[in-house]
Structure formats: structure tokens, C-alpha cells
A and B are shown apart, each in its own frame.
Chain A
Amino acid sequence: MRCSLIRACALAVAIIGWGLTSRRADAYPQYQLSRDQTCSDCHLSPAGGGPLRENGYNVAEVSSQFGTAPEFMYDKLPMPSWLVLGGDLRGAAGYIRTPDNAVTGFPMQSDLYAHVTYKGFSLQLLAGVRPAQWITGNGTPGVLDRLWSREHYLMWQHDAASNEGGTAGLYVRVGRFMPVFGLRFVEHVDYTRRYGGTPLYADTYAAAVEYVTPAWEAHVTGFVEDPLIDPVVHDSGVAAYAELRPTRWLAVGGEAMVTASDGLAKVRGGATGKLYLPSADVLVQAEGQLVHQQVKGRGAPNQLVGYVMASKFLGTAFLLDVGLGHYDENLAIAGLDRDAVDVNLHWFLTSHFELVWQSRIEGIGIGASTGGPTGGWSLLHGHYRL
């Protein structure tokens, strides 16, 4: 464990060093502190992601190369104030070596969403294309087998009209959504997403009580294994995340998650930190988790998961992320830890369209006598928001 902690510290020091040697940048809307204080300043959800509110549209416009009207369908289809529509299309192509070489391309997301508000209540529905389940015997999935609603929930916000422009206060959500936990990086391949309790499509039926203010926020989510489909994650449990922002440029958070499935129980505890460096216009984010597992029958491995990312705007429309990930599958055994260096270069061409060049180099058991092959990829990822 001590070794992994040292390594994690080394990674943190390295990325902070990178951040400090950076010269200048502008802000990026997805990051708190550098532009806004909370996720809900730009998004309708108190946890961020999905439909934007007016401030989010404005940020999308001013931070893109060619501007364009940021609203749904370029505002050609004006919406009433109680309705927000939108959608996301994503795909990627490029080269992977994990460790074999391959050229690959794949769709990532085709979703439409609607958010309907009536007084303090709102209903959010996200529906789209899902990866069809394999059918043994060369069968072909039907159209309905290719569609799903990844997210749908009813939300109540206390006194929505009068506090902090409608973004702060108490929220209660019930429905299907991702439990709120940690920094919630967009890229699901980041270690604290993939190995940190919120992998891709871990959305499930849940109830959350959340409180958001500019100075602090807290989220508690209880969730159960999805009883309606064959889910990605079979866990039921509770997740809690709280974040305190003692200054305009600093946030510190704590997180805990307890889950259980038929054969496995897990307890996660961790911390997050966000530091914006105005002089360098760099935002540094870090998350670390200790995970205790209890495998039914025998075995109780402890794990360490960490990710540090420094983000810097380059001009108006480019954003460079450098991330370092560390995951130790079992702290007691040598050669089971892995480290990754991620470099993402975002180009926001318009307020609706983004290109991201994503690259990763990953190694196993670096410095240990046993390890494994190295891997990596370099992909061009396109994202269009309706």
C-alpha cells in the first residue's frame, strides 16, 4: 500500500509540476472554479451533464472557434420556457495497441433528451441507441433491442425560482441516473471512472438527496441493481459525495460508497481536490480512492485508484488535458498496478461541435519484477450536440 501511495504522490507532484510550468490559458466551462462554481450553473442537473441551462449555452458559444447559436437546433425551433430539448452524437476512430495493433472506429453515443419543468418539479428523459445484446445463433436484434432510456428521473427542487438564479438549494431526484460520486470525469476510460465505481452505463434506479450552494454541495444517492434489464453493474448500495469550496479557486471533497452484489461487497472511501491557478489559467483536479473488497468465499483485496488531471486552455477554442491514472488491483501483490498517461486535445469548432484527439500510454507493474505488456491508443473523437 505504501508503494502505491508513494507512486500516487509522485503522479500528483508530476501533474502539479506540469500545471505550474504552463504559461497561460482561458477558462473552460466544464470545470468548476475556473469559470463557475457549480455544475448546476451550466446544467439543469445538480450533478452536471446533460441538458444545459442558459448560462451553459452562453459558455458553449463564447468558448468555441466559430460561435454559432448555442441553443437546440441553433434556435431555429424555439422552445417554451418549460421545455428543454437536446441530444448528443459521438463517434471515434483511430489506432489502438492493447497490446496488439488495430485500426478501429466505433459509434459512441446517439441520444436525445427532454427536460420538462413545472414549478419546482421537472422530468428528465434521455433515450437513444444502446449496444445491442449478442444473440447466440447469429440472430439479429430487433429495433427495440437497440433502443433504451439510459436516464429518466423526476426531480424536485425546493424554492427553485428564488435562490441563486434557480441553481442552488435542495434537490431530490428519483429515477434512473448515475449515482453521484467523485469528480465525474466525462471520459469513462479515466481510471476513477472505469475502476472507481462509476463505469460506463452504471446508471441505475436510484434516489438522491442533494444540496448545492456556491460554497459547498453534498449528494447522497441510494441505488439498486436495475431490475428491468441485464445491467452492466450488479451492485446495490449507497454513494455519498460532498465538496467544500473554501475559496473561489479551491475545492476539496470527500466520497464514500458501499455496494453489495451476490458475490462481492465493496467499500470505497476517497478524497477529491480542485485547484485553479489564475496566474497560469490551469485547473488541476485530483481524486483518490481506497477500496476494500470482500469476495464471497475467500479473498479481501484492497485497491487504490487515483487520477490527476491538469487542464489548460490554449486560445479561445482549444483545451489541453494531461491526465495521470494509477490503479492498483491488489495492494498486497507486486505487478498488479497500472499507470496511464492521457493527453486529450479538445477543439471546440462551434458551440455544437467538438473534436477531441485522445491518446493514452499505459503500463503495468512499472518498476516491479513482474508486470505485463504496455498498451495505448490514439483516437479522434467527434461530438455533436443538437
Chain B
Amino acid sequence: MPVEYGHPMHRCLWIGVVVASACANACGSAADDRPPTLAYITETILAPSCALAQCHSAFKRQVGDVFDTPASARRTIVANQLVVYPDDIADPAHSYLITSLTVGNPSRLDPGSGNVRMPYDAPMPDADIQLIEAWIRTGVPVAQCEPNAQGRGCSVTTAPGQAEPVYKVVECVDGNVGADVTTCPAGQVCDFYTGNGQCVAP
């Protein structure tokens, strides 16, 4: 049967749409009682938002950041100094991780092209960013150095306009990122994944 505009069935459908939309918009929910832990944040926020095939999955590792598991997120946050302990605890909004989500940071793929805000393909809810900030505020628990026998881990930084990243061996303080022990000489990187805390040939 041909369906025409103005048919009574259509009017009912559109009335239904308006009523249902109004109901949906009027709904409320419970307060945000999600646990501010790295495991929870990674599995429910970072992995589905950031660890896509072409982005920060173990498959792609874009700019060296991986967020698909709590262990990967921990290594990324520590090694790439996305949250610096203890500096960022008092002001999480200014950590690299949070500014990446809120205002963007200089592009590491195309330096000089301006700021890039993450996630690149879809916005992130404010409440998720607030939960990550809450986790930072509690002292970035478990996003810490994975110390070697000497209590050392790695960090790597790439300043705006800087061509080469700088690798540093850091002394883990209370399990978190601490003071720089040494800066790896040119041509060497800090071996984080297989025996962290040592400068080795790449």
C-alpha cells in the first residue's frame, strides 16, 4: 500500500518520536560512583575511545602510545610522561594526558601544524575526563615506574619543534616516576619494554 505524507499513521509516528525524545531528555541517573582506578579507566574509557585499530592499539601504537590494556596504559603514561608524578597531582587539568583531551597538544606526527585534540575521531564525555582527573588527583596509583633491580625506569619526551625524542633513565620514587638519573646519549634509547632503566642501542 503506498504511504503518503499526512497519513494518520505518520502523524502518530512523529508524535511518538517527540514524546519519546522528551521523556529521554528528562531522565536522570545516579551520581558518578565509578572507581577512579587505572584498570577501570583503561577498560571502560581509554580502550574503547583510544585503542582503535588505526590509533593507540597495540596493533598500531601511534606516536608510541598504547591504551588497550591497563599494563599498556601504565607503560604509556609513565614512559611518555603523560602524567608526571608528583607534579601533576595538584593540578591534573594541566597534565599532558588531560590537556590532550580538553584543549589539545602540539602534533607529534606533524610538528608545527598546531594542536591536536584527542580522541581524534569522536569527542569524549566530560564525566570521563573528570574521572581520569580524579585518578590523577589520588596520586596516579599503579601508573608508576616498572623498576628494574636498581629501581630504575624510563621516560621519553619530545618537545614542540624538537626532531628527536629525548630518552632518560629515571629513578623510581615510591614506585612512581621520579628524578632523572641520566639522559641517554644520541643514538641510544632507554630500554623500557625488555629491561627498563638502561640506555641501549635501538
Chain B's interface size range is 35 or more
Instruction: Given A137-B165, A230-B59, A335-B126, decide whether A330 and B44 contact each other with a Cβ distance below 8 A.
Output: yes
A375 within 8 A of B: yes
B43, B54, B156, B202: the one within 8 Å of A200 (CB)? B54
Find chain A residues with CB under 8 A from B115 CB: 100
Q: Least Cβ distance of B40 to chain A in Å?
A: 5
B40, B57, B126, B164: the one within 8 Å of A297 (CB)? B40
Q: Least Cβ distance of B170 to chain A in Å?
A: 16
Q: Which of B27, B30, B35, B119 has the most CB of A within 10 A?
A: B27
Are A232 and B24 in contact, with the CB atoms below 8 A? Answer: no
B173 within 8 A of A: no
B112 within 8 A of A: no
Which one of B13-21, B84-92, B145-153 is at the A interface? B13-21
Are B125 and A329 in contact, with the CB atoms below 8 A? Answer: yes
- Compute how far the CA of A279 lies from the CA of B31 in the bound complex, rounded to whole angstroms: 48
Find chain A residues with CB under 8 A from B63 CB: 134
**Total CB contacts across the A-B interface at under 8 A:** 207
Instruction: Give the residues from 95 to 131 in chain B that come closer than 8 angstroms, CB to CB, to chain A.
Output: 104, 115-117, 119-128
- Compute how far the CA of A158 lies from the CA of B35 in the bound complex, rounded to whole angstroms: 51
Q: Which of B24, B43, B54, B115 has the most CB of A within 10 A?
A: B24
Which one of A64-72, A210-218, A360-368 is at the B interface? A360-368
B2, B5, B45, B64: the one within 8 Å of A134 (CB)? B64
A298 within 8 A of B: yes
- Compute how far the CA of A280 lies from the CA of B2 in the bound complex, rounded to whole angstroms: 7
B159 within 8 A of A: no
Q: Which residue of A lies closest to B201 (CB)?
A: A137
B58 within 8 A of A: yes
- Compute how far the CA of A295 lies from the CA of B38 in the bound complex, rounded to whole angstroms: 11
Instruction: Given A261-B69, A367-B24, decide whether A137 and B189 contact each other with a Cβ distance below 8 A.
Output: yes
Find chain A residues with CB under 8 A from B1 CB: 279
- Compute how far the CA of A13 lies from the CA of B12 in the bound complex, rounded to whole angstroms: 10
Instruction: Given A100-B115, A298-B40, decide whether A131 and B60 contact each other with a Cβ distance below 8 A.
Output: yes
Are A99 and B117 in contact, with the CB atoms below 8 A? Answer: yes
- Compute how far the CA of A85 lies from the CA of B149 in the bound complex, rounded to whole angstroms: 55
Q: Least Cβ distance of B76 to chain A in Å?
A: 11
Instruction: Given A200-B53, A330-B44, decide whether A21 and B10 contact each other with a Cβ distance below 8 A.
Output: yes
Find chain B residues with CB under 8 A from A16 CB: 13
Q: Least Cβ distance of A107 to chain B in Å?
A: 10
- Compute how far the CA of A13 lies from the CA of B10 in the bound complex, rounded to whole angstroms: 10
Find chain B residues with CB under 8 A from A364 CB: 123, 125-126
B9, B124, B165: the one within 8 Å of A136 (CB)? B165
* Binary interface encoding of chain A residues 175-212 relative to chain B, with 1 for a CB under 8 A from any of its CBs, else 0: 00000000000000100001100011100000000000
A100, A263, A374, A375: the one within 8 Å of B69 (CB)? A263
* Binary interface encoding of chain A residues 265-284 relative to chain B, with 1 for a CB under 8 A from any of its CBs, else 0: 00000000000010110000
Find chain A residues with CB under 8 A from B20 CB: 6-7, 9-10, 13
- Compute how far the CA of A133 lies from the CA of B59 in the bound complex, rounded to whole angstroms: 6
- Compute how far the CA of A383 lies from the CA of B182 in the bound complex, rounded to whole angstroms: 51
* Binary interface encoding of chain A residues 349-386 relative to chain B, with 1 for a CB under 8 A from any of its CBs, else 0: 00000000000001011111111111101000000000
Instruction: Given A133-B61, A137-B202, A374-B123, decide whether A3 and B27 contact each other with a Cβ distance below 8 A.
Output: yes
Query: Which residues in B have some Cβ–Cβ distance to A below 8 Å?
Result: 1-3, 5, 9-10, 13-14, 16-17, 20-21, 23-32, 34-35, 37, 39-40, 42-45, 48, 51-54, 57-64, 68-71, 104, 115-117, 119-128, 156, 164-165, 189, 202
Query: Which residues in A have some Cβ–Cβ distance to B below 8 Å?
Result: 2-3, 6-7, 9-10, 13-14, 16-17, 20-21, 96, 98-100, 131, 133-134, 136-139, 189, 194-195, 199-201, 229-232, 234, 261-264, 277, 279-280, 293, 295-299, 301, 329-336, 338, 362, 364-375, 377
Ranked 6 nearest A-B pairs via Cβ? A367-B25, A3-B27, A10-B20, A334-B29, A7-B24, A230-B58
7 contacts between A and B (CB under 8 A): A10-B20, A20-B3, A134-B60, A189-B121, A336-B128, A367-B26, A375-B123
